[in-house]
Structure 1
Amino acid sequence: MPEPKHLDGEPGSLGTLLRAALPVVPGVNQLPGIRKGPASAFTGLAYAREGVVAERSRVDAYAAVCGFPRKDVVPLTYPHMLAFPLHMAIMSDADFPYPAIGMVHVENTITAHRAIAVGEALDVTTSVGAPRPHAKGVLLDFVTTVTGEGATAWESTSIYLRRGRTIDGDPAPGLMVPDAPTGGVEWRLPADLGRTYAAVSGDANPIHLYPLTAKALGFPRQIAHGMWTKARSIAAIENRLPAAVTVEVAFKKPVFLPGTVAYAARRDDAGWTFALTSPKDGSPHLLGRTR
């Protein structure tokens, strides 16, 4: 893996979003600095941010949107907000062979080694290696490490699917969550949830914002962010989780907004198993487990 590049500019700025969109614009996508290189030549890329502070106002705003209580430590999923600008920087880099638009977040694993205090200064690094084969295209593993007080405090792996031509090799099986619970409490999600979450996360992908912008990218109307569904699911059991924990989820069917989902969680000897499903037919939107 090459040495990390350092993120320049304000994370989540309009410029970052424009750079992410330009590689799908015909003609513009052939300009130097925008044109993507061949996937066969890509071996890896990394970006880093140093001294990033988990600010009280931003942590509280995020917690309120995702259903976490206000505490002096950040919610389990919050460090993803610090890493997301690095995800976007990698996807917007000309050396990364795939446009950001069209990347589908299919799985996410978070490991917290300890609680992170609000106001703590952190170093954040995200790296991605060569693509892996998938039946519908390729998978890319975005691996994030958050360091504080000289040691790793938090880690995550976000797996993105890029649909299209695959590569040689045998696809690895995805996350399996057998016997996940169904039914449970119903959550009614408002039409503006995607815009509300975008405001606190910086993830303003058009598929989450309005019916018109979602339709332009092939969806009948806007959909909820996958990481919101994970955060909200964890918030429902966060007071029963230890400070050091791993939470794995697979994102299945999109959650259309406005909409209603059912949340259920079950504890066993290994940890918690939980799911977001359709109240109509029990089909899964998200399957998860802790350990």
Structure 2
Amino acid sequence: MKILYRSRGTMNYTSTRTSVAVLKDMHLLELVTDAVQRTGTALWSRYSTTARPADRGALSRALDQNEKSAVGYLRAALAVARPRAGWVGEEQQFTALPPGEWWAVDAVEGNINLVHGLSDWSVNATLIRDNEPVLTVVYQPVGDLTYTATRDAGAFVNGIPLNVSAKTDLRLAIATAGQAEVGQRGTYRLIGASIAAMLEHTLLVRATVPTTFPMLRVAAGHEDLFWQYQPSLAGVAAGVLLITEAGGMVTDLHGAPWHPGSPGILACAPGLHVDALKILTPLHY
């Protein structure tokens, strides 16, 4: 299995238009990896560990500038790679998708971290085929880490295979809850209740944004389980494929298979799934 991994270099926005009548997923992975890494390199040039926006205006300008510098190039590159694939928009983040291929993309995942000089930000692109993630690339410029996965071919970071935790005892688990998306105030109490419940049964509980990073850590076995209420598709699609290809389990909060539009998600090591559901399912509306 050939995985393209390129160390950070100089950004070049010149793109060669490639004829892609039919692309195998492994070939497509190389094109997507290149596009995601180039987008991340452009953002890296804007990143500073000393960044500290002091007011709402400065914060908004920094966020908007990062989005504008990343989305246009990445969308164009992915359109060349897969011209018939749709693009998941805001109105489709919480629903099932129509049949066919769709790109679920966050060109600046963790933008709020980037503009505050923190390390947890990335560029994510996931191809969803008939409501199932089949290919993903996540590039984290801080650390120069490239996570890749294709369906039935494994998950990797910089070409090294990923494997989820082998833990079977929930009392030893490191668990992370994803925060609600902005405006979803109805889930705040539910998040608090679920964290309180998990604190009774696990070694350590965290709550964080963005969603991608705890899911990367579950795929790599550094953490053991992740859950979130009302997750956005672009936030979890990459993690779903990486975790399942690394040997983990991903379901909704009732134990049914996860799919775009599921109102909740649980991603964890297989040996913890049943016990985690016993805690979370009774809380879920």
Decide: shared fold, TM above 0.5. no
Higher strand content, 1 or 2: 1
TM-score normalised per structure 1:
0.31
- Relative to the length of structure 2, the TM-score reads 0.32
**As a proportion of its length, which structure holds more helix?**
2
